[in-house]
Amino acid sequence: MKLPEISTFIARWSLLGSLPPVAWLITHDCENQILALLDRLGAGYRRNGNCAIHESAFVEDGAVLKGPIIIGEGSFVAAGAYLRGGVYLGDNCIVGPSCEVKSSILLAGSKLAHFNFVGDSLIGERVNIEAGAIIANYRNELDGVDIKIRYADSVIETRVNKFGALVGDDCKIGANAVIAPGAILHPHTHVPRLGLIDHFAYD
């Protein structure tokens, strides 16, 4: 069975160091993965408990940060944003008003406009997610069964019941689009407004 190699989707993934090689294993254990990254951070970060915010980043009053969290150089988190469950924002990321990010990694230059949810996902560089679009992480209609993904003519059994998406570099996700649990988006994918991406392998 062929598993998606993260570096095929996110070119500079190796800059984060020795994380597990499978996307859903990272997100399933995201709090511990972010704690490990905290131990390797360089200078220039302000720390408060298990939250580290680069001195050039800006977090507006009213944002809720539940660590472990890393917010990189030049990034911006707006009022009303909610980050929890292990979150990493690379350099120059934007999390807009009333966005929720849970157990996810966003790399440099990626942006959530506003009213977005991103759960249990790996987001590459320069990804733009327009207002209202969500990356869902749980199969509510199937009572939370383990995520099974159709990929490269095979079905992958992830053995986790929460996984959002692996989103490659330079993807654009239109307003009010839904990325269903277990999606894999190749670099430069454009999802139209109101679009649905669903790679789940139904029985």
Give the residue numbers annotated as catalytic, written as ranges: 114
Structure tokens at 199: 């790679």
User: What separation, in Å, do the N-terminal and C-terminal C-alpha atoms of the chain show?
Assistant: 18
Structure tokens at 69: 């969290």
- ∠ CA(21), CA(23), CA(24), 5° rounding? 120
Residues ≥6 apart with Cβ < 8 Å to 69: 34, 50, 51, 52, 53, 83, 86, 87, 88, 89
CB 167 within 8 A of CB 8: no
